[in-house]
Structure 1
Amino acid sequence: MKFITILILFTLLTIQFIKAEDGYKLWLRYNIVSDPQLLDEYNDIIKNVKIEGSSETMHIIKNVLELGLTGLLGKDNIEYDNTKKNGLLVVGSLENLSNTFLLRIKDKVINLGEEGYLIFNEKIDGNITTVITGNTDIGVLYGTFQFLKLLQTNQNIKNISIESSPKINLRVLNHWDNLDRTVERGYAGFSIWDWHKLPDYIDQRYIDYARANSSIGINGTVLTNVNANSLVLTEQYLVKVKALADIFRPYGIKVYLTARFSSPIELGGLKTADPLNEDVKLWWKNKVDEIYKLIPNFGGFLVKANSEGQPGPQNYGRSHADGANMLADALSDYNGVVMWRAFVYSNENQDDRAKQAYTEFQPLDGKFRDNVFIQVKNGAIDFQPREPFHPLFGAMPKTPLMMEFQITQEYLGQGTQLAYLSPLYKECLDSDTYAKGKGSYVSKVIDGSLDNHAKSGIAGVANIGTDRNWTGHLFGQSNWYTFGRLAWDHELSSQE
């Protein structure tokens, strides 16, 4: 009895120190570096931090560094004593750096584009200084996450020189989330978007979602299901979308919405949604103006049309190009884009399902506006575990094609089976289309390099929900992570 009493007392006294791993922190767990020698080395190199800049993004960077460095280095707090020169970590965009660094790195950083970053250290008057910089604060944020990852993975940071920029411009998640919070092909609980409580109540999960996506370079999110509900375009919902967009903006993430093609009828009281009808064009133009007044950096629309019963331009004898171009014209003044899905399937069509998309889209090559992507699934059927790459890749050289991968495991065990999807993604990306001879890889089609397209994009159908660990099956986190990594650099191996 005495032993049991002592055991109970011990448990009560120590329970506050017990930390269970429930998966919520994803890959952003900043536990103290376990190697004592390496920990001492890191603490010598990172003694003080200097934050250059005061934007909202720079404040986020400061918070990210405090969370990461206190955890990884076992510090109680971060020192910001800039009079101490040894062990200084300088973090800021190129325009905010002092001339000490500017002259030597300016040309190198400029070539990294808006989202790239440079991490390096050097000795100045015998003191080691480490610098994280980029052309924009968003680039610096990406660099900050990369720097913390080096510490997480016990990498050498003594003589560091890392330059990185994304190979694909638009790296976006597609949420197949409905307004009632059900998720099509979702296996991780309900939708994380609590429309009933927005815009007044901001769930901490929205902020953590933005941080997680930014840490792997994802810069866009489509909030709603491709089987779209036109209600999301009403003022009642747009103010809720604005609340999310305001949270995501300083993390470099734009918000996109799915556009139901029949919205002018359902919301506008028109008798038609014909894309060549002037009243329809005006309705969409006014709707886009309304959205951008609320959300200045709104990304644009994702559209599923004339597929599985969804309305589209073919209802009126028009082509996919007619429909996409009408929306593109409405968005063009704001640099918004249209992501028009090539997944067209109808059981009423007697044609072979595998070639429907090719039959409908390939003849339209070159007929789309410059701000239109054709979003193509990796295979011609429907996210099958094994299927060849889609024949449209390499067949539409005049049109930017955007890859659509599925992160959620619709055909790969849903929420009950462990499956690492990077090899599947890599097999598709590394496949050779031979469109311009050997080496015309699918990856070169979607990054724009094969056909000299300035715009490029890749989408992943999200596996995220309200489950505490975000993805239901814990290993599903790895597929969210690997999608972001490959979207940034498709040349990485599955192991990397």
Structure 2
Amino acid sequence: MMMIRSIGLGIAMLAMTLGGAEARAEDGYDLWMRYRAPGSAEPGSAGIDVRGDSPTLRIAAAELRRGIAARGPASAIMLARAADPGVAALRLPVASLGDEGYLIRTVTLGGRRVTLVTANTDRGVLYGSFALLRHLQTGGSLDRVDLTSTPRVKLRVLNHWDNLDGVVERGYAGQSLWDWWTLPDFRDPRYTDYARANASIGINGTVLNNVNAKADSLTAPYIAKAAALADVFRPYGIKVYLSARFSAPIEIGGLKTADPLDPAVAAWWKAKSDEIYRAIPDFGGFLVKANSEGQPGPRDYHRSHADGANMLAAAVRPHGGIVMWRAFVYAETDPEDRAKQAYTEFKPLDGKFAGNVIVQVKNGAIDFQPREPFHPLFGAMPKTPLMIEFQITKEYLGFATHLAYLGPLFAETLAADTMAKGPGSTVAKVVDGSLEGHRLTGMAGVANIGRDRDWAGSTFNQANWFAFGRMAWDPTLKADAVAREWAAMTFSPAVVKPVVAMMMGSREAVVDYMTPLGLAHVMATGHHYGPGPWVADLKRPEWNPVYYH
């Protein structure tokens, strides 16, 4: 009976989500950008005016026309940079908006009453346009609207664990979105919709390839393919990054070593970086997994992680690039408990990384478990910018099959108090740089996106992508508030309340049945789906569930 009731609720929710004839075409593709008329409103014309011109401003105007027109006749909306003479004369509080913040306000401009979306840059105007649409989708109105927001985190980046053969490591939504066979000549329209979705929630970067990288990703043909994607993403404010294999100088460069202190190695990386920037002038930089799970790295040459990161940082620094150096390390030769190994290796290196290096640290010390304490490096490296890494894809939380809304996991970690400078020294303050005054800040999310029509394997999995973007913009957002936003943008009003209730209890349910009584890492090995607490025959101790309990 329980299953029958659940199926019945699901069918009812689907019907209330889709409504009428639209149900025949609904396949989840529109994500949370479902611009539908409220109630009985008839589609109307949207008066969207733009001062200035650029690809990004044209995209912002088109998005508003698409969304506002579905809601019926609307008052005039004006898009303009804050430097526009007419906008500047209003003396609005735009100085604190930075490069990406926005302000939306009802004003009188050019003798008429308009809803103004303004920012210091075109990217800010685009983010403001999506924020206005979100405001309307969640029950707001254009009447005397007054919204302003600035991102608290600089780098808000998806990490795609996508291999060049199309397989997505820990992916549960089909093959890789990137069709490497047809790039760079054919640019799938879906790449544009991917960029739209990310811009709508403030994501401004994407790492195209798996951290378990192949050196081929850095060859000329693949650089050209990455450049084609960068061209699509650029108007949406999204930079591309590449995962770099540390041994690439040997594998594709003809050198006999990848020692980061060898001048020939440094020269090779500089030349390679120059080549990439010629193809992608706004290339973001490199993500590196080194000396972890068999990946090559500087420790192969008795060098430190700082030696390796700083060598790469020097190669991209002239172009304004950065290096995101992962702290997920554990070695079979290290006698430390696995939960302590990253701390043991990285804590002594605090203050030794170059200024354009940010150390990327998983939310917990083990490996994206349903629940684990925050990583001990947060609060322990005050001289080094730390970028938190969450897993949006559900490697340990039921793949794409189980309902597990991860907003509470994100919020729980970000709100945890490191006590590094006394009470209130939260992980969020480490991540957004406010605790130590760092300007280079970031949040990374391992993407759950694939070629499935619904992008993420199910409608509810889309909520985790949405929640990551919203919380990367503002790490202080509450999980239930984000869930209500997403549900209101995805379902009809009648089911928002029960949907949010289901979502908010789902992660705790996963914790209860996958890590009962606090037992950690009891999943079967390899696939990490079913239980396997008895497994004890793997090569390395920390690969065995019995190691943890």
TM-score, structure 2 length as denominator?
0.82
After superposition, the C-alpha distances for 1:260-283 in whole angstroms (9 at most, x for unaligned) are 000000011000000000000000
Alpha-carbon deviation of 1:50?
1.0
1:278 aligns with 2:266: no
1:470 aligns with 2:455: yes
Alpha-carbon deviation of 1:126?
8.5
Distance of 2:108 and 2:329 partners within structure 1: 59
Alpha-carbon deviation of 1:456?
0.4
Pick closer, same or farther for the CA change 1:271–1:26 going to 2, 3 Å.
Answer: same
1:164 aligns with 2:164: no
After superposition, the C-alpha distances for 1:237-273 in whole angstroms (9 at most, x for unaligned) are 1000000001101100000000000000001100000
For 1:57, the equivalent position in structure 2 comes to 56
Pick closer, same or farther for the CA change 1:16–1:410 going to 2, 3 Å.
Answer: closer
Matched-pair contact (CA < 8 Å) for 1:264–1:273: yes
1:404 aligns with 2:402: no
- Please state whether the residue corresponding to 1:349 is helix, strand or coil: coil
Alpha-carbon deviation of 1:216?
0.1
After superposition, the C-alpha distances for 1:435-454 in whole angstroms (9 at most, x for unaligned) are 00111000000100000111
For 2:522, the equivalent position in structure 1 comes to none
For 1:32, the equivalent position in structure 2 comes to 37
For 2:91, the equivalent position in structure 1 comes to 105
Matched-pair contact (CA < 8 Å) for 1:72–1:152: no
Alpha-carbon deviation of 1:105?
3.1
Alignment of 1:40-79 (within 5 A): 48-73=47-72
For 2:490, the equivalent position in structure 1 comes to none
Distance of 1:153 and 1:386 partners within structure 2: 30
Distance of 1:155 and 1:126 partners within structure 2: 25
For 1:361, the equivalent position in structure 2 comes to 346
Distance of 1:251 and 1:122 partners within structure 2: 26
For 2:517, the equivalent position in structure 1 comes to none
1:63 is matched by which residue type in structure 2? Answer: A
Q: 1:128 aligns with which of 113, 116, 121?
A: 113
Pick closer, same or farther for the CA change 1:16–1:449 going to 2, 3 Å.
Answer: closer
Distance of 2:168 and 2:23 partners within structure 1: 34
Distance of 2:47 and 2:371 partners within structure 1: 51
Distance of 1:16 and 1:343 partners within structure 2: 49
Distance of 1:114 and 1:35 partners within structure 2: 39
Distance of 2:333 and 2:325 partners within structure 1: 21
For structure 2, list consecutive stretches of 5 or more residues without a partner in the other structure. 1-19, 482-549
* CA RMSD in angstroms, aligned pairs only: 1.8
1:252 aligns with 2:275: no
Alpha-carbon deviation of 1:34?
1.4
1:26 is matched by which residue type in structure 2? Answer: L
For 2:467, the equivalent position in structure 1 comes to 482
After superposition, the C-alpha distances for 1:127-159 in whole angstroms (9 at most, x for unaligned) are 531100000000000000011112212213212
| Matched residue count | 462
Distance of 2:336 and 2:96 partners within structure 1: 48
1:462 is matched by which residue type in structure 2? Answer: A
Pick closer, same or farther for the CA change 1:28–1:261 going to 2, 3 Å.
Answer: same
Q: 2:166 aligns with which of 161, 169, 181?
A: 181
Pick closer, same or farther for the CA change 1:416–1:125 going to 2, 3 Å.
Answer: closer
1:380 aligns with 2:385: no
For 1:21, the equivalent position in structure 2 comes to 26
Alignment of 1:172-251 (within 5 A): 172-251=157-236
Q: 1:327 aligns with which of 312, 333, 349?
A: 312
For 2:81, the equivalent position in structure 1 comes to 93
Matched-pair contact (CA < 8 Å) for 2:48–2:61: no
Distance of 1:17 and 1:474 partners within structure 2: 16
Pick closer, same or farther for the CA change 1:374–1:125 going to 2, 3 Å.
Answer: closer
Matched-pair contact (CA < 8 Å) for 1:256–1:299: yes
Pick closer, same or farther for the CA change 1:294–1:124 going to 2, 3 Å.
Answer: closer
Matched-pair contact (CA < 8 Å) for 2:46–2:69: no
After superposition, the C-alpha distances for 1:283-325 in whole angstroms (9 at most, x for unaligned) are 0000000000010000000000000000000000000000000
Distance of 1:137 and 1:391 partners within structure 2: 39
Distance of 2:109 and 2:377 partners within structure 1: 54
TM-score, structure 1 length as denominator?
0.90
After superposition, the C-alpha distances for 1:432-485 in whole angstroms (9 at most, x for unaligned) are 000001110000001000001111000000000000000012210000000000
Identity of aligned residues (%): 59
Distance of 1:363 and 1:17 partners within structure 2: 59
Distance of 1:346 and 1:197 partners within structure 2: 39
Pick closer, same or farther for the CA change 1:35–1:443 going to 2, 3 Å.
Answer: farther
- Please state whether the residue corresponding to 2:224 is helix, strand or coil: helix
2:148 is matched by which residue type in structure 1? Answer: E
Q: Which moves more between the two structures, 440-449 or 49-58? A: 49-58
Alpha-carbon deviation of 1:92?
1.6
Matched-pair contact (CA < 8 Å) for 2:46–2:65: no
- Please state whether the residue corresponding to 1:495 is helix, strand or coil: helix
After superposition, the C-alpha distances for 1:3-48 in whole angstroms (9 at most, x for unaligned) are xxxxxxxxxxxx9876432100000010112165xx89xx7xx862
Q: Which moves more between the two structures, 150-159 or 379-388? A: 150-159
- Please state whether the residue corresponding to 2:70 is helix, strand or coil: helix
Distance of 1:20 and 1:306 partners within structure 2: 48
Matched-pair contact (CA < 8 Å) for 1:72–1:151: no
Pick closer, same or farther for the CA change 1:16–1:445 going to 2, 3 Å.
Answer: closer
For structure 1, list consecutive stretches of 5 or more residues without a partner in the other structure. 1-14, 79-86
